[in-house]
Structure 1
């Protein structure tokens, strides 16, 4: 059964207003869709759900699934799985945290449509 094994613990990454957060403890997520457990390490920086701040888009999808977004950001930076799988894990983890199906679909569609520019080869 997919589930978070730890809680998301964050603090502001620095004194600037760039929307970055740093994990103060590891975030552990057990994923059925990926068939494995992911460990987002303490110290990892995330912007959580980087949803455009356009009023309607942010209202519908922003600030709704921070745990899932942190795992997704980690998978996009670590390349432990394919981009397609990382996006599937986002949708799955959002369901685990109680995000409604319509909102999960919007978030997933958004990362499928716009996430390619954030998917860079590891080590670049």
Structure 2
């Protein structure tokens, strides 16, 4: 069963209010979609959900499922799975944290459509 095995523990990564965070403890997620367990290490930097700050877009998808967003940032940084699986894990992990289906779909569609430039 997919689930987070630890809680997200983050702190502001800078002295500014710029949306940059650092994990202060590992975040562990067990994924059925990927068939493996991921560990986002302490010290990993994330901006959580990289959603455009356009009012309607942010209102619909921003600041939701911080755990899933931090995990997805890690997957996009380290590439332990193909991009399509990383995006599916975002949707799966969002479901685990209680994000409504319509919002999970919007988040998934957003990363599928506009996430490629961030898959470095």
TM-score, normalized by the shorter chain, greater than 0.5: yes
Give 2:75's aligned residue. Answer: 75
Counterpart-to-counterpart distance in 1, 2:96 and 2:77: 22
Q: State TM-score, norm by structure 2.
A: 0.98
Taking the TM superposition and a 5 Å limit, the aligned residue runs for 1:1-124 are 1-120=1-120
Counterpart-to-counterpart distance in 2, 1:92 and 1:30: 10
Counterpart-to-counterpart distance in 2, 1:31 and 1:92: 8
Aligned length: 120
Q: CA deviation at 1:16?
A: 2.7
Counterpart-to-counterpart distance in 2, 1:114 and 1:96: 24
Which 5+ residue runs of structure 1 have no aligned equivalent? Answer: none
Runs of 4+ in 1 over 2 A off after TM superposition: none
SS of the equivalent of 2:86 reads helix
Q: CA deviation at 1:83?
A: 0.5
Counterpart-to-counterpart distance in 2, 1:78 and 1:17: 26
Counterpart-to-counterpart distance in 1, 2:35 and 2:9: 24
